Structure 1
Amino acid sequence: MTTTRRTNLDRLLGRPGQPVGVYVFGAVDVDAAQVTDALARPGGDRLVRAVFEHELGHLVGLAHVEDRTQLMYPQTSTVLDYAPGDLTGLAALGTGPCVPEV
């Protein structure tokens, strides 16, 4: 799976106290064959869910982290749910202002 984000930086650059970008579009590309293969394995449903949650994290603004205990670590691991650091990042993203004019 891959994610795509587009931001509108020009609109907000130079405005003190404002974000430097605004999330305006996101997409997740799903490889159906890979998902089907994963679902056929024991525990595959939990792994597929974790991968989707990881990719959705990117869609809302989370980046990869270096901590292997977090879902946003760049490689598939045994972490199957958002971990405390992931949740902290999501909470921080949720404090941003709405920008309806975009």
Structure 2
Amino acid sequence: MRTQSDKPLPNLDHLDPLVGAVMAKRKQLRWSQAKLAKAAGISRRALLMIEKGGDCNLSTLRRLHTCLDIVMQAASAHVPTLDDMNAQNARERFGGVR
């Protein structure tokens, strides 16, 4: 017999990683949406919309992350320059890499 705790977590890849982390941690802790919403000072409806992929303020995300003890960290993605792309193209065309 399977219990609720045996259920695998759903695939959250379709969500923004900041929201996916909130959902995964909430489910791991077995918190209801109502419990998290109350702890974060937002409505359950607002949390429902966020978890469905809706927009929210950064301050709301911070409150959710704080309630769940999740560290929110800013990181910049490497955006390739034109020189980077030209060098990669040259390697692929002339360097035998495909």
| Shared fold per TM-score greater than 0.5 | no
Query: Which is greater in Rg?
Result: 2
Q: Give the TM-score normalised by structure 1.
A: 0.25
Structure with the bigger percentage of helix: 2
Q: Give the TM-score normalised by structure 2.
A: 0.26
Structure with the bigger percentage of strand: 1
